[in-house]
Structures are given as structure tokens and as C-alpha cells.
Amino acid sequence: MRKIKQYLWVYLLAIGAMAAGCTEEVEPVKIRSDQDFVDYAAHTTIFKVQASRLGIQVAAGNDVKVLGQEMFDYYTAANNELEQIGAENGFSVPVSLDNERQRLYNELDRLWGQDFDKRYLAEMQKMYQENIKWYEEATSKVKNNVLKNWASKSLQEMRVQQADIQQVVSRMGS
């Protein structure tokens, strides 16, 4: 039975990796206002802080723990910056997860060790693909210049982190 579960995990991860690496369009971006982007950015940033903190605690692989620490540090600072931008520019910045990301966090919170590592990395690959589309659109649609600059700076960092995640995934696959 244990072998069957292991093979099933490998199969599911392979499907997830193929989906994450495909060139299909992710969900269309829905930035209708600067506040839409602030809401999206805050929810995903909070998720990355919480999921990365969890990774530091429960991941099996040192690469995943190091990645988690780097992401925790970066997104804690990014979230603080976003809150400051919101306070100075009249945006309401969410301080908790939305339902979708809370559900995903709860799923990750039930995992441990290698199971956590695989799911965390797969979810981060998907999330970064979506995040990059949102932030690219924000750099052209957001009207507030301070928020637009924050989005542009964040987009550059996300591209670096996306490559870091892929490197960890590649090393784990070896």
C-alpha cells in the first residue's frame, strides 16, 4: 500500500510539474483599479509569508528550508512596504488570507517533510506564474506611481525567485 501511495505521489507531481511548466494561459488578470491590485498583492504576499514560515519549520530538504527563509524575509518586508504604501496613499490593505489562499495554507499545514516539500514547490511554481502576470499588468495599469514602482520592483524579484524555485525543483528531481 505504501508503494502505491509513493507511485501515486510521483504521478501527481509529474502532472503538476507538466502543468506548471506549460505555456497555457493562466487565469486572466482582473485589475480594474489600483485597489484590486493591492488586494491581490496583499493576499499573495501574506500567503507567501505564512507558507514560507511553515516551510522553515516542516520541510525535509535543506534547499526548501533555505528558499523558505529567503521568501519569508523578502515577503515580510514587501508586505510591510505595501502596508506603508496603503497607509500613505489611501488604500485598504488586507491583513489576512482570502478564502482561496487560506484553504491552500490549511492543506499545506497538514503536510510534513518530503510531502510538504513537493506540494509547497508545486504551489509556488503555479503561484509565481500567476503573480508575474498580475504584476506585469500592474506595471502598466496601476495609476498610483508609488504602487506602480513597488509592483515593478517586486516583479523583478519574483522573476529571480521563480528561477530559484525551479532550481530547487530540478535538484530534487535528480
What CATH number does the domain containing 80 carry?
A: 1.20.1260.10
> How many domains does the chain contain in total?
1
Q: What is the mean pLDDT of the chain?
A: 87
Domain containing 158 equals 2-173
Q: How confident is the model at residue 8 (pLDDT cuts 50, 70, 90)?
A: very low
pLDDT at 23: 39
Say if CB 161 and CB 74 are below 8 A apart.
yes
Residue-wise pLDDT for 88-122, tens only, equals: 999 999 999 999 999 999 999 999 999 999 999 99
Query: How many angstroms separate the CA atoms of 1 and 126, rounded?
Result: 30
* Eight-state DSSP code of residue 28: P
CA angle 131, 136, 137 (to 5 degrees): 100
CB 125 within 8 A of CB 165: yes
